[in-house]
Amino acid sequence: MGSRSTAAFCKLGTCPTAETLLLYHDAALARETRGEVASHLSGCDFCDAEFYLLSKFPPAGPPQFRPVRMPWALYRLAKELVAASTRAAAIVYEGDRMTLTDA
């Protein structure tokens, strides 16, 4: 790790993204970019810690799921609730219409 101060232990706008750090770990960056990331890691405690964490616990990827069909009764109920709330909103605003002089 580079510096010893904990006062600035945070990710800055100049820090590489987590995606960039993962690509650096996988050696999937261009030579120039790899050098920039390596240089940054030597001087930034936060990114060095983030890189360590990402290298030990890489993301698992997007969750795998299958969409399911909504039961007909639930679909009908949701449709009725949306329609009822739309009608209620129209009734509330109908009696309280504003004109340009009210604004």
pTM (2 d.p.): 0.53
Q: Where are the domains of the chain?
A: 18-56, 68-97
What is the pLDDT at residue 59? 82
- Any idea of the CA torsion for 43, 47, 48, 54, to the nearest 10 degrees? -160
Query: Which pLDDT does position 83 carry in this prediction?
Result: 86
Read off the pLDDT of residues 25-68 as tens digits, 9 standing for 90 and up: 999 999 999 999 999 999 999 999 999 999 998 888 776 778 88
Q: Which of 39, 44, 38, 37 is nearest to 3 (CA)?
A: 44
Residue 54's pLDDT is what?
Answer: 92
